[in-house]
Amino acid sequence: MACIWRNATTASGYDGVTRPPWQGSLAKSRAAEGEKLRSTTRIRNGILAAVVLFSMAGACVAHGTGKERAPGISLRIERSFAAPRDKVFGTWTDPQAVAQWFLPPENAHWTEPPTFEAHSGGRFRLRVVASDEHYDLHGTFREVRAPDKLVFNWLWDKDSPLAGSPGDTGVTVEFFAHGGRTDIVLTQRGFRNEESRKEYERGWYRCFREMDKLLNFVPPETLTRWKDFIRVSSPVVALEHATMIDGTGAPAKQDHTIVFSDGRITALGPSGSIEVPANAKRLDLTGYTALPGLVDMHGHLFYVSNFFNTNDLLAHVMPFSFPRLYLASGVTTIRTAGTFEPYADLDIKKAVDAGTLIGPKMHVTGPYLTGEGYPLVQLYALTGAEDARRTVEYWAREGSSSFKLYTDLPRAVAKAAIEEAHRWGLPITGHLGSIGFREAAELGIDNVEHGLWVDTEFAPDKQPDLAPAEYDATAVDLDINGEAIQSMIKTLVDHHVAVTSTIAVWEQFALHPAASEHVLDALSEDGRKISADSRLMELKKMTDGTPHEREKHERFVRMLQKEAEFERAFVRAGGLLLGGSDAVIDVFIAGFGDQREVEMLAEAGFTPEQAIQIASLNGAQFLKESKRIGSLAAGKQADIMIVKGDPSKSIRDIENVEIVFKDGVGFDSKKLIDSVKGQVGIH
Ligand SMILES: [Zn+2]
């Protein structure tokens, strides 16, 4: 099923197309008609059935069963959004927003503006016309406002082309206001079978995820509770005379002005050419650089300890220190890349969205999907393909918005996980071991983590479905321009598989650089001691270790160069390279790790502007959010980091963060960092 839509707009398994709830049924009915699945859904100008949903729904409630049809199987979904009721309701009636559920603008290629008309108590019609898709939905609609709730419901016309079981299902959505939050209860009745219900359910989850992205709401809670950490909070802000690195890879521009209003950039350009509104709060940024907030595609919300003392790694959730460090360091969006505590990560995201925690916007990946093998006591080992499907389905329902395969997984189990993630419209990445990059690409994975460093397919002792004895740096002696690596790169590019660079992690592995003062300040006392000891131990191994230890270190040092070469070659070949920190251990921690990743990308041979693009816009592209975040452009969210100096001239200036704007609210970097002193490893 998942692959039916795979080629609709891109060849990637995760095409980001937010199919409407009825997508599966549409695909099926069209397949039954023997039509090509990619063909345009034509408008059917059938006779419009005039069934008033509300009365029908009422009848169902009153009599238990409707007269014309059995109530059959129903669906109920409850969701909470961190925005007031009218704002949430607005996304259900705004044509652009509704159309985004169907086709996110990222790859929608709308050929005419979407239209949505609804007359309460009467007809509704939604038209979305794109170059390769065409939806024309119609039915009957009703909206009832009561003091305690707002009820919105509709019934598709029997001839509405998208209805999976035309006319059979009625939808009721209730909106309950709770201050700045809105709870939604969606009920849909009258499914013909369980499969149809599931298809709708998956579709609704996709809609909710898109709605989440559209809300861009800064809760008043943020502005009041965190006022001591906020340096700039004004409806209209003008950042004047800044050097600007816009995140597209374009060279830095001098003396630019950026204006944003209500969290969204309204104008930017050379300072003389931009009119600054009279009511703007003006910041003279002479000597500073404005960059897009970073998009960390390999973030984590845990810190690992006991790494070198025992073989049991323990990951502790850092709900307090890590989100603050990310934001303080200029990271405004993260995709977590696996977790041992999926509920904790989801709750942290919710708390940040609601303004009760400070942190970046989050895309939360589910629990690591792996089998037996890796020595982590908190890892759940999947028992097989069915378990993989069950686990993905469960966490997709709970709110995970992506998945990650881990090191020890046979292909059949990986395939099941990939298929199930795609059924939910979710991307899936992998830190692989038992599966090579080429195999993973062919199985339909969307992204691979860490780069060539962990691609085990070239290891001499690699057996199908099993990780070789060494997970790391097994391709160190291969020529990047040779046939083996080039064909692997081509396979990734052909399958639109993105690669996440975590080259700053590999620097840690290979070179064990001394930690900077600000990192040591953030660590707990124990953390400082453990990491200092372990660093000394590693450095000692480099010179006085066993032959195997010395060989390994020497190999890692060479691999660091090889990794840089690979990442450049991948980009040259047209691949989408993302930036990730994976900063979870020792002196390599959230936020500071992100800055080091940008520096290492520049050291790897990218221009500073390209390094920033990899760490910002490319991630936004993968997340299908580049129309809203990832670079500085009019119309995008004001996710902007301000650093002293000019990272295009000296990349290390990326560490001099002063203010980080998230949706237009400017947080004080130093105050955030000071607030977590000594906390990493504890909170
Ligand atoms: Zn990781």
Of 161, 187, 215, the last residue of a domain is 215
Distance from Cα 430 to the centre of ligand 1, integer Å: 10
Residues 516, 623 within the same domain: yes
Q: Is 135 contained in some domain? A: yes
**Residue 478: its pLDDT value, please?**
97
Distance from Cα 179 to the centre of ligand 1, integer Å: 37
Distance from Cα 650 to the centre of ligand 1, integer Å: 28
Region of 605 please: left (phi>0), alpha (psi -120 to 50) or beta: left
Residues 200, 298 within the same domain: no
Q: Is 592 contained in some domain? A: yes
Distance from Cα 365 to the centre of ligand 1, integer Å: 11
Residues 316, 453 within the same domain: yes
Contact in structure between 385 and 371 (CB atoms under 8 Å)? no
Residues 476, 602 within the same domain: yes
Q: Which of 53-62, 246-255, 293-302, 549-558 has the lowest mean pLDDT?
A: 53-62
Q: What is the pTM (predicted TM-score) of this model?
A: 0.88
**Residue 374: its pLDDT value, please?**
73
Q: Torsion angle of alpha carbons 68, 69, 74, 80, nearest 10°?
A: -10
Residues 145, 46 within the same domain: yes
Distance from Cα 294 to the centre of ligand 1, integer Å: 17
Point out which residues pair with 78 in neighbouring strands: 185
Residue 446 φ then ψ, to 5°: -100, -20
User: Which of 119, 176, 188 is CA-nearest to residue 145?
Assistant: 176
Q: Does the structure show a pLDDT above 70 at 624?
A: yes
Structure tokens at 533: 């000891």
Residues 457, 577 within the same domain: yes
Distance from Cα 657 to the centre of ligand 1, integer Å: 25
Contact in structure between 510 and 560 (CB atoms under 8 Å)? yes
Distance from Cα 572 to the centre of ligand 1, integer Å: 25
Q: Is 177 contained in some domain? A: yes
Residues 380, 498 within the same domain: yes
Pairing relation of β-strands 181-191 and 230-232? Answer: unpaired
Integer angstrom CA distances of residue 683 from 303, 579, 676: 10, 26, 9
Distance from Cα 299 to the centre of ligand 1, integer Å: 7
Q: Is 341 contained in some domain? A: yes
| Count of structural domains within the chain | 2
Distance from Cα 449 to the centre of ligand 1, integer Å: 8
Distance from Cα 349 to the centre of ligand 1, integer Å: 18
Q: Does the structure show a pLDDT above 80 at 53?
A: no
Distance from Cα 298 to the centre of ligand 1, integer Å: 6
Of 193, 215, 237, the last residue of a domain is 215
Structure tokens at 261: 């209003």
Report the CATH number at residue 120.
3.30.530.20
For 86-117, what is each residue's pLDDT tens digit?
889 888 877 777 777 666 656 566 777 778 78
Distance from Cα 77 to the centre of ligand 1, integer Å: 31
Q: Is 395 contained in some domain? A: yes
Q: At what angle do helices 592-603 and 503-511 cross, to 10 degrees?
A: 90
Q: Which of 72-76, 349-353, 549-553 has the lowest mean pLDDT?
A: 72-76
Q: Is 465 contained in some domain? A: yes
Q: Is 282 contained in some domain? A: no
Distance from Cα 500 to the centre of ligand 1, integer Å: 10
Contact in structure between 328 and 660 (CB atoms under 8 Å)? yes
Residue 8: pLDDT band with limits 50, 70, 90? very low
Of 191, 215, 239, the last residue of a domain is 215
Distance from Cα 407 to the centre of ligand 1, integer Å: 11
Distance from Cα 472 to the centre of ligand 1, integer Å: 14
Report the CATH number at residue 488.
3.20.20.140
For 421-473, what is each residue's pLDDT tens digit?
999 989 999 999 999 999 999 999 999 999 999 999 999 999 999 999 988 99
Q: Does the structure show a pLDDT above 50 at 635?
A: yes
Distance from Cα 477 to the centre of ligand 1, integer Å: 25
> In the sheet that 110-118 helps form, which strands lie side by side, from edge to edge?
73-81, 181-191, 170-178, 149-156, 134-145, 122-130, 110-118
Token pair 């009915």: residue: 29
Distance from Cα 74 to the centre of ligand 1, integer Å: 39
Q: Does the structure show a pLDDT above 70 at 307?
A: no
3-state SS class at 320 = coil
Distance from Cα 454 to the centre of ligand 1, integer Å: 12
Q: Is 346 contained in some domain? A: yes
**Residue 521: its pLDDT value, please?**
96
3-state SS class at 311 = coil
Over range 505-529, report the average pLDDT: 93
Domain that holds residue 66: 2-215
Residues 191, 315 within the same domain: no
Compute the distance between CA of residue 305 and CA of residue 314 in angstroms, rounded to an integer.
5
Integer angstrom CA distances of residue 67 from 48, 154, 190, 192: 20, 18, 12, 16
Distance from Cα 429 to the centre of ligand 1, integer Å: 11
Distance from Cα 582 to the centre of ligand 1, integer Å: 5
